[in-house]
Amino acid sequence: MPLTRRHILLAGLGLPAAAQQKAAAPRPNIVLVVADELAAWMLGCYGNKEFRTPNIDRLARMGTRFNNCFTLSPMCGSGHASLFSGRAPAQHGITDALTGAAPAGFAGEVLLSDLLSGEGYECGFAGKWHLGGEEQPQHGFRFWYAAQGEVRLQNPVVSREGKTVEEKGYLGDLITAAADSFLERQSESRPFFLTVDYPLLHPPYEGHPEQYAAMYAQNTFESIGWLPAAPNAARQKELLQDTVGSLRKAGAALSALDGQVAALYKALQARGRLENTLVIFTSDHGSLWGRHGLWNGGPASEPSNMFEEVVQVPMLWSWLGRIPADNTRPELVDFCDFFLTVAEAAGAQPPAGRNLPGRSFLPLAANKA
């Protein structure tokens, strides 16, 4: 092995090069941000010119953007289950949005939080769980702040560490504050896995801060490609009675989400947690918002649809010093791949016997072959 300037410096400190390399690459902290019902096509970093998402776009420029990432389902519950388990809906058993408890067998699924908590990660959750049993901490999460029932943007009912309480304030602010509370508790000696799930794009879009509504008061959304209501329009078809008015409200919700992403990133920065933290931004599934004459995701039509807009989701990875900035990848990746990619980034062995069908895309995120 050739002698380098770095080896001479290490020798002067009395440290073996291998030991120094090991110390220089500890397991990363991981922050996973999930934006419910957000399609890739809605974001500026994916080419949208009408919705204002400067903070999410900035996050995209700080790392790698995957241009062809797909959820396994156009439904909230099944999309979340595949994201966390790395398995297809037919494997984990959640094939729709959950309105009650998860199927009995789902308790035996090994989710990312189970895997990482077993590897010594401190796991925290803040937001909308979508997978049943949100009244109590689930699947290795010790910190727990989960919205209960139907989404209430103002004064929501939440489970805080297993106790149901009615909070005061705006749901987005409350979720971000809970995430910051988790960050405040973390020590330097142990890595953490924080999931922040924002359900801010759920209709009817009432209750977001007024400043965001003003941003879209004059928009006509001519480039969106929306159409009159389709004959088979189903879920949320009432929003198509005034598509432009509904798009103005939806745009305000999207920009409110963008504001929370900025606040969360600032919290990480203020806590000094960016040095070795992998930040991931994605969604459970997309929505149509007037495209094809439909509004919601898969259930927007009868029968349900699989239009590209409802299954193509954003996938942004930022990790200072490990993932190059301004990087884009064209490869097709999906949520089965996501589980194995996070496991590899954390240095964790995937669980045995789960028939995981994916493949890690970590080399692609780092712009390697």
Q: What's the pLDDT tens digit per position in 252-267?
A: 999 999 999 999 999 9
Is the confidence at residue 6, as pLDDT, over 50? no
Q: Give tens-digit pLDDT for 97-148.
A: 877 788 888 999 999 999 999 999 999 999 999 999 999 999 999 999 999 9
What is the SS3 assignment for 196? strand
For the chain, give the longest Cα–Cα distance.
Answer: 76
Query: What is the pLDDT averaged over residues 347-358?
Result: 96
**Residue 272 burial (CB count, 10 A):** 10
Write out pLDDT tens, residues 28-42: 999 999 999 999 999
Q: Is the pLDDT of residue 21 over 60?
A: no
What pLDDT is stored for residue 16 in this prediction? 46
With 0-12 / 13-18 / 19 or more C-beta atoms within 10 angstroms meaning exposed / middle / buried, residue 331 is: exposed
β 29-35/277-282 pair status: parallel
The beta-carbon contacts of 178-185 under 8 Å, at least 24 apart in sequence, are 178/126, 178/145, 179/124, 179/126, 179/145, 179/264, 179/267, 180/264, 180/267, 180/271, 181/143, 181/145, 182/124, 182/126, 182/143, 183/267, 183/268, 183/271, 183/273, 184/271, 185/143
Q: Coil, helix or strand for 352?
A: coil
Dist CA 35 CA 79 (whole Å): 12
Residue 9 token pair: 């410096």
pLDDT at 25 (0 to 100): 63
Q: Which has the closest alpha carbon to 287: 239, 342, 320?
A: 239
Contact between 117 and 191 (Cβ < 8 Å): no
Helix/strand/coil for 35:
strand
Strands of 71-217 (E only): list them.
122-127, 143-147, 157-160, 163-166, 192-198
- 166: three-class secondary structure by DSSP: strand
